[in-house]
Structure formats: C-alpha cells, structure tokens
Amino acid sequence: MKSCEKGLWLFILLLTAGLFYAVFFFVPPAEGLGSLVRIAFFHIPVAWGSVIAFLVGAWYALRYLRRPGKRFDAISAESARLGLIFVVLATLSGAVFSKLTWGAYWNWDPRQTTIFVLLLIYAAYLTLRSVITDERRRARVSAIYALFSFLTVPFLIFIIPRFYFSLHPSPVLNGSGSIEMDPVMLRVLLLSLLDVTLIYIALLGHRVKEVHHHET
C-alpha cells in the first residue's frame, strides 16, 4: 500500500472516530425523534454514497461505450458493487429506524419501497455480469444496463417518494428556503457525507487495483 493510500485511510479512520464521538456526545436530541435522530448520521450518508457510486458507475459505463477499455469497465462494475453495498446499508439502517420509531422493520413506506426497487435493479446488474461469459459482450451489455439503471436513481430516491405520504421525517424549510437544522447537527452531517465519500473513493481505488492485479 502506497504512502498516499495509507494517509487517506488514516485520515478516514480519524474522521470516522471523531464523527462517532460527535454523534453520541455533541448532537442534541431532535424534536419528535429524540436520540433516534443519531441513526440519520449513518443512514443519510450511506444513501448519499450509493448515489455517488451509481453516478460514477454510469459515467465510466458511458466512457466505455465511447472508447472501450478494461479499466473503464472495471471502474464501472466495482462502483456499482459498492453502490449496492451502500444501498443495502441504507435499507438496513432505515429498517432499524422504522422498527424503533413505528414498531415494524418494514411498512412499505414510499421511501422504503423505492430504495428496495433500486436494490433489485442493481442486484440484477451484478447478476447480468455473472451470467455473460464473453468479456467484451459482458462489458458492453453491462455498460448499457448501468446507464439506463442510473436514470432511475433520481426518480427513486429524490422524486417519486415526494409524491406520496411518507412516515419519514422531512427537513422543514423556512421562508428563505434554507433547512432549519441545529448548526452542530448540520456540521456533523456534512462531515459524515465527506467521510462516506472518502471511504467510497478509497474502496473503489483498492478494488480496481485488485481487479487489475488479478487480470495481469
């Protein structure tokens, strides 16, 4: 492992430790949610991580279609795998929040339903890659599927759930359109988003290196 990679992981470790401390000792209980609001500092960032991962996967899928190359295919595939892991973590943390708040792990709330659909879409992507044996055909078909799959991401995560009643708490907007949130909570949330983004970057780089090393 190179020094820059070690440095990145060390920074991530320190940031993650600091975030755990901040979430449990500095974040105040939220009105109506109490201490359960702390789950949001894990749930929201991993959901964010899935969007970033699927976006990167789609971008490199497009690059592969324009200029086929093993590296583009590898980055797209590994990014989609990481995105699926983040979606699973978001689904599980959402289920825990649902159980503690509403008494059931699953109630087919619009946000739960759409993220479950997203999970199925990308699970099908990985299944597709596993059943196509020809390398070039697998890469091309996977790239096309990744592009069309990402088109569903904004709708399933950001748009469709807003058209239906949801038990999920939503940010309250004031007259100026900014989100009313305790300053400490906002700073911790932003650092959590940064932390997950860095974890994704580090994991993606590691996974692509492993794939390249295996192929050579």
Residue 209 lies in a domain: yes
Give me the tens of pLDDT residue by residue for the chain, a chain 216 residues long.
577 888 999 999 999 999 999 999 988 887 767 788 889 999 999 999 999 999 999 999 999 999 999 999 999 999 999 999 999 999 999 999 888 888 889 888 888 889 999 999 999 999 999 999 999 999 999 999 999 999 999 888 887 777 766 666 554 434 443 345 678 888 999 999 999 999 999 999 999 988 766 665
- 136 belongs to a structural domain: yes
In a domain, 34, yes or no: no
Tell me what pLDDT residue 212 has: 65
CA dist 131 and 197 (Å) reads: 30
What is the span of the domain harbouring residue 158?
39-162+182-215
The pLDDT score that the predictor gives to residue 175 is 40
32 lies in some domain: no
Domain assignment present for residue 177? The answer is no
As a whole number of Å, the CA-based R_g of the chain is: 19
Q: Is residue 144 part of a domain?
A: yes
- The H-assigned helical ranges of the chain are 3-25, 40-66, 70-102, 110-131, 135-154, 183-215
Establish if 61 belongs to a structural domain: yes
Comparing CA positions, the residue from 15, 19, 142, 123 lying closest to residue 70 is 142
88 domain residue, yes or no: yes
Dist CA 190 CA 192 (whole Å): 5
Residues sharing a CB contact under 8 Å with residue 57, sequence separation 6 or more, in sequence order: 75, 76, 77, 79, 80, 83, 146, 150
pTM: 0.89
Domain count, the chain: 1
